[in-house]
Amino acid sequence: MIFAMAFLVGGLICVVGQLLMDLTSYKVTPAHILVGFVTTGAILSAFGLYQPLVELAGAGALVPLTGFGHILTQGAIRGVERDGLLGVFAGPLEAAAAGVTAAIVFGYFFAILFKPKG
Amino acid sequence: MRVDFTKPAGIQHKQYRNFVDRISPKPNVLVNVVWAFLVGGSIAAIGQALLTLFLMLGLPILEAGAMVAVVLIFIAAFLTGLGVFDDIARYAGAGAFVPITGFANAMVAQAMEARTEGLVLGVGARLFTIAGPVLVFGIVVAWLTGLIYFLFR
Amino acid sequence: MPAAKKQGQQTLVFSNPPVITASGTVVGTKEAAGPLGKTFDRVVDDPYHGEKSWERAERRFLEDAVQIALKKANLSSREIDFFLAGDLENQTEASALAARDLGIPYLGLYGACATIYEGIALGAVLIDGGFAERVVVAVSSHCCTAEKQFRYPTEQGVQRSLTQSWTVTGAGAVILAAQGSGPVVTHATIGKAIDMGQADPNNFGAAMAPAACDTIVRHLLDTGRGATDYDLVVTGDLGLIGRDLAEGLLQDHGFDLAERFTDCGVLIYDPQQQDTHAGGSGCACSAVVTGGYLLQQIQAGKLKRILGVGTGALLNADSPKQGETIPGIGHAVVIERR
């Protein structure tokens, strides 16, 4: 059941991205959509609206970039609860540390190992 | 008459814009949406399979979620290096770039192309062409949320 | 007092029309697989052309095109007075590096994708003015250097817009001479930068069509000629959408070119088979179609007189982000069988 929900919710979030891509002006680029999704996820999470979606769909809510925004915001909140003001600064990246480090390290090595085909 | 060249420039531009809109092909939204849904949904389902696996291996929920991101990022970065990711995304569109896979792809694609400009100013700098803005906006919102929470909790 | 060799507002008339004695065209595999594949002098299978980077590859393409043209004309680079060249890389670096290796006095040009026609017009001016006996005009473009500079990395997963064109990988060179055998350049009409408010960097055809139309209309008014004086009016790289737009605008001006009107960017690819969306673009687009197919048609006697109109979109990588609209440019040259 959770797989079906993950598929459905993950797919629908991507559909929103596709509609933004196809129906808005050329000024909306993939970069704008990625930034928009992270920001939206972070804001929804701040109002406590994203966690229910995660509980409903699991990876379906975590894997799209909105989930990345959710993780950053939840990190900030957990940071505050643990360390107060310092947690405001340390929390977001602490929560996202594994993903960010993976992206940098794998990005670096694959960029060096491979040559673009063109 | 599509554009009346005796009219003032502003009217000509408007008439021309209508002419361009009429003639330019529009994306096939239905096909694109179906592709985005199927591929994006599949990536999420793979993520869920990984999540279930890591939970079964005894990882706590947050760590399991982070490992899912690590594995998906690895796969996307590898497929980008092989030159396969862009072929998938040609059809999948947002289905490929909205999940965390798109974030990884944007980093590798930018960086591997910048190899000819050196490791520091090329690869190192260009890894963040797309990742930079994503991190900036995500962290700023999270930081503001944390600050408000700190002040008013 | 009006200039002696100028007719009307923008048209130059050459009293001793310079001769196109030879041309050289080099393309990549995608162009070779297109409808004009057989008309090119050389096909390079490797997008890197054996080099480390696409930028170096583009320079090699350019040098190859020049060497092929020189060989066909049986000339050495020392016998050339000037090298007029341009491309789409930052500060036209491919041309500059090719100029360094060729060692011919060099005038770097930037007219975006209209550069080959700008070069032919200026080369003809140098020759007809008595300042040169022989000049080489050459341009290049490379799909990957252009994507890297103006759009997305080639491996990034983005869907290309249906209005987007495909940058031609290749280079074209022509040799203009005061004497010799071959088709001649009789007129050139220098275009204005025309902007009708189009700003979409994924729809160059829409940005350039008004400029192409303006130059064609100007040329016909300046010379007093009609569309029927030409066997073909061929624009540079408007593509499928831009060609239809230009055709419509020309009709609005009262000129119906109908079957005589086509575009190099439409001719070079098969949009159904090759997934090129709006068609071909890039400096090399008009250069390899003009230097290959069109000159061959003229030499074979199938075309007697054509009006070639190089078209360019005058933007850089940042101007669309800054909210600028995209000016287009069109430079026309009359090429005639003698």
Residue C268 near residue C289, CB atoms below 8 Å = yes
The radius of gyration of chain A from alpha carbons, rounded to an integer in Å, stands at 16
Cα–Cα distance measured from residue A73 to residue A44, given in angstroms and rounded to the nearest whole number: 9
pLDDT, mean of residues B98-102: 97
Instruction: Provide, as residue numbers in chain B, all residues whose Cβ is less than 8 Å from the Cβ of C326.
Output: none
Is residue C1 pLDDT above 80, yes or no?
Answer: no
Residues C72-100 have pLDDT tens digits of 999 999 999 999 999 999 999 999 999 99
Residue A44 near residue A66, CB atoms below 8 Å = yes
Q: Phi and psi (nearest 5°) for C172?
A: -135, 145
pLDDT, mean of residues C121-129: 98
pLDDT at position A86: 97
pLDDT at position B63: 95
Percentage of chain C beyond pLDDT 70 is 100
Residue in C47, C161, C200 nearest the CB of A118: C47
Residue B4 in domain: no
Residue A24 CB neighbour total at 10 angstroms = 11
**Residue in chain A nearest C320 by alpha carbon:** A27
Residues B7-66 have pLDDT tens digits of 999 999 999 999 999 999 999 999 999 999 999 999 999 999 999 999 999 999 999 999
Residue in C154, C158, C161 nearest the CB of A116: C154
Is residue C157 pLDDT above 80, yes or no?
Answer: yes
Give the model's confidence band at A117: pLDDT under 50 very low, under 70 low, under 90 confident, else very high: confident
- Asked if C156 lies within 8 A of B106 by C-beta distance, the reply is yes
Token digits of residue C323: 């909210």
- Enter the DSSP assignment of C140: E
Percentage of chain A beyond pLDDT 70 is 100
Question: Please, what is the average pLDDT of chain C?
Answer: 97
Contacts for A118 with CB less than 8 Å, ≥ 6 apart:
C47, C48, C54, C143, C144, C154
Query: Based on the number of CB atoms within 10 Å of its own CB, is C228 exposed (0-12), middle (13-18) or buried (19 or more)?
Result: exposed
pLDDT, mean of residues A46-71: 97
Please tell me whether residue B45 adopts helix, strand or coil conformation: helix
For chain A, which chains pass the contact test of at least 3 CB pairs under 8 Å? B, C
B-contacting residues of A 37-66, CB under 8 Å?
37-39, 41-43, 45-46, 57-60, 62-65
pLDDT at position C120: 98
Owning domain of residue B96: 9-152
Residues C218-228 have pLDDT tens digits of 999 999 999 99
Residue C275 CB neighbour total at 10 angstroms = 12
pLDDT, mean of residues A33-54: 97
Nearest to C174 by CA among C308, C15, C32: C308
Give the model's confidence band at C337: pLDDT under 50 very low, under 70 low, under 90 confident, else very high: very high
Percentage of chain A beyond pLDDT 90 is 97
Cα–Cα distance measured from residue C330 to residue C309, given in angstroms and rounded to the nearest whole number: 6
Instruction: Provide, as residue numbers in chain B, all residues whose Cβ is less than 8 Å from the Cβ of C164.
Output: none
- Chain C nearest-CA distance from B114, in A, is 9
Interface test with C, best of A14, A19, A20, A26 (most C CBs within 10 A): A26
CA dihedral sign, ordered C203, C206, C209, C211: negative
Is residue A118 pLDDT above 80, yes or no?
Answer: no
For chain B, which chains pass the contact test of at least 3 CB pairs under 8 Å? A, C
Alpha helices in chain B (DSSP H): 9-23, 29-56, 61-82, 85-92, 94-97, 100-113, 125-126, 128-152
CA distances from A3 to A64, B49, B52, B64, B76 (A): 15, 7, 10, 16, 21
Instruction: Provide, as residue numbers in chain B, all residues whose Cβ is less than 8 Å from the Cβ of A107.
Output: 77, 104, 107-108, 111, 127, 131
Topology at the third CATH level for domain C6-177:
Peroxisomal Thiolase; Chain A, domain 1 (3.40.47)
Residue B69 in domain: yes
Instruction: Provide, as residue numbers in chain C, all residues whose Cβ is less than 8 Å from the Cβ of B106.
Output: 156-157
Token digits of residue B13: 């531009």
Architecture of domain C184-336: 3-Layer(aba) Sandwich (3.40)
Cα–Cα distance measured from residue C222 to residue C244, given in angstroms and rounded to the nearest whole number: 24
pLDDT at position B153: 84
Cα–Cα distance measured from residue C165 to residue C151, given in angstroms and rounded to the nearest whole number: 12
pLDDT, mean of residues C188-201: 97
pLDDT at position B26: 94
pLDDT at position A69: 97
pLDDT at position C186: 98
Residue B3 in domain: no
Domain ranges of chain C: 6-177, 184-336
pLDDT at position A73: 98
pLDDT, mean of residues C5-26: 98
Give the model's confidence band at C2: pLDDT under 50 very low, under 70 low, under 90 confident, else very high: confident
Residue C207 CB neighbour total at 10 angstroms = 30
The DSSP secondary structure of A51-96, one letter per residue, reads HHHHHHHTHHHHSBHHHHHHHHHHHHHHHHHHHTHHHHHHHHHHHH
Please calculate the CA angle A25-A26-A30 and round it to the nearest 5 degrees.
Answer: 110
Domains identified in chain B, total number: 1
Percentage of chain B beyond pLDDT 70 is 100
Question: Please, what is the average pLDDT of chain B?
Answer: 96
pLDDT at position A27: 92
Same fold flag, C6-177 and C184-336: yes
Residue B1 in domain: no
Instruction: Provide, as residue numbers in chain C, all residues whose Cβ is less than 8 Å from the Cβ of B83.
Output: 155
Alpha helices in C183-238 (DSSP H): 204-223
- Enter the DSSP assignment of C24: E
